[in-house]
Structure 1
Amino acid sequence: MLSHLLTSLIDDIHGDTITLKELLERSGRQGMLLICALATLPFLIPVSIPGVSTVFGAAIVLLAAALFLNRLPWLPQRILNKPLDAKKLVPVLRKGVGVVSKIDRWVQPRWLGLTSGTLLRLNCAAVVFGGVLLMAPLGPIPFSNTAPAVGILLLTVGLLQRDGLFVILGYLGLVLSVVYFSVLGYLAWTGGTYLFG
């Protein structure tokens, strides 16, 4: 179960700080997708940790791009070695695992064609897109990180557990994120026009 994999990964975090490089080294065979799933957890609950959105969003983009290209990931040393405050991060990750554990009971291998072949690359491209949305500088706006994080999480859960239904739900989450961002953009534009027009 994904929640157990994530819990064991979090249990290995010791010390005052943790880097993305250390997380990758500990994540094993399916590490890239697992790290993508782990990177969404801080955004599932309303707690802000400075710097996490940029680091984890960039990591998701680069790891999913590597999966899309079917090659080993390349990550800049600046992202790999940026220290994150483990004392703040670990409790948030544990709360995120609580959300994932509720999802676990519904996951099962089904609609396998949606998680393999050509569609696998399309799914990885969708995760890249979700990571770009996650990196958008809209942190103070409610749900601006949560919406794409949920889409990415559902996609990665679907790919890790070979559940095509969760892949579709992940796409739905990303579509709703785009709609939400579009509404925010429209409101900002009309508000600016009203104030300065």
Structure 2
Amino acid sequence: MNVHDEHSLSREFQEIEDLCDHGSMTLQRIIDHIHGRGEAMLTLVLAGPFLLPIPLPGLSIPFGVLIAIFGFSLSTGWKPWLPKTWLNRNIPEDLIRRFCRTARKFLSKVERFIRPRYGWVHKNRVFKGGAGTMITICGALLALPLPPGTNAPPAAAIVCLSVALLEGDGLLLMVGYGLFAFNAAFFTLLPIVGYEAILKILSVGF
């Protein structure tokens, strides 16, 4: 087994799920566990639940703010500072378990396609800094009190960009850039034409 396999994302999520069996889940526990993976792993864990078809009452604002902070850290290299009340806030264990299980099932199907490639993209400081900035913006969008159903697009972009940074996948990084461009168009049109009109446009396009 190579290094990439030993530290696969699916295994990381299995280990995070296992943490739920040993006490209450807090952001500090997750940070302590994945300290070797850095901010991109945290943005992935925090954004992933927004792709699940379950309500997340009271979590979009704090999770969105945290994602924005970690994204800013990715783009600037500055170490993020968080108040202890945020770090020690309990995260519902059922939410963590459901997300980790869903993530493992999804990753088991696509992980073989995600690999280090196009290093000239992934290692470029401009592209990496741009990814961090995009994660910051998408995190801020998650924190806004927007209509139901608008969390998934920025969450998808965050997840894609985070996985690309974690796995050194330049091609996936470009896909994340494309998802961010979709978000930019979506949220620009939202106040102009309205949410229902955008859904109709998308239904016609697809």
Which of 121, 135, 142 aligns to 2:143? It is 135
Q: Which amino acid aligns with 2:128?
A: L
Distance 1:83 1:187, change over 3 A: same
- TM-score, normalised to structure 2, is 0.81
Check conservation: 1:107, 1:161, Cα contact below 8 A.
yes
When residues 101 and 182 of structure 1 are mapped into structure 2, their CA distance, relative to the original with a 3 A threshold, is farther
Contact 1:20 1:82 in 2 (8 A): yes
Unaligned runs of 5+ in 2: 1-7, 198-206
Report the 3-state secondary structure (helix = DSSP H, G, I; strand = E; otherwise coil) of the residue aligned with 1:84: coil
SS in 1 for 2:57: coil
1:60 to 54, 57, 67: 67
User: Mapping of 1:59-138 within 5 angstroms?
Assistant: 59-116=66-123, 117-138=125-146
> Could you tell me how far apart the structure 2 residues matched to 1:101 and 1:184 are?
35
> C-alpha separation between the residues in 1 aligned to 2:9 and 2:95?
22
Query: Pairwise CA RMSD of aligned residues?
Result: 2.3
CA displacement 1:135-171 (0-9 Å, x = unmatched): 2212x522x1111111111111111111111111111
> In 1, Cα distance between the equivalents of 2:23 and 2:92?
6
Deviation at 1:39, TM superposition (A): 1.2
Instruction: Quote the offset at 1:16 in angstroms.
Output: 7.1
Gaps of 5+ in 1: 192-197
Identify if the C-alpha distance between structure 1 residues 55 and 7 changes in structure 2 by more than 3 Å, giving closer, same or farther. farther
- Contact 2:49–2:95 (8 Å) recurs in 1: no
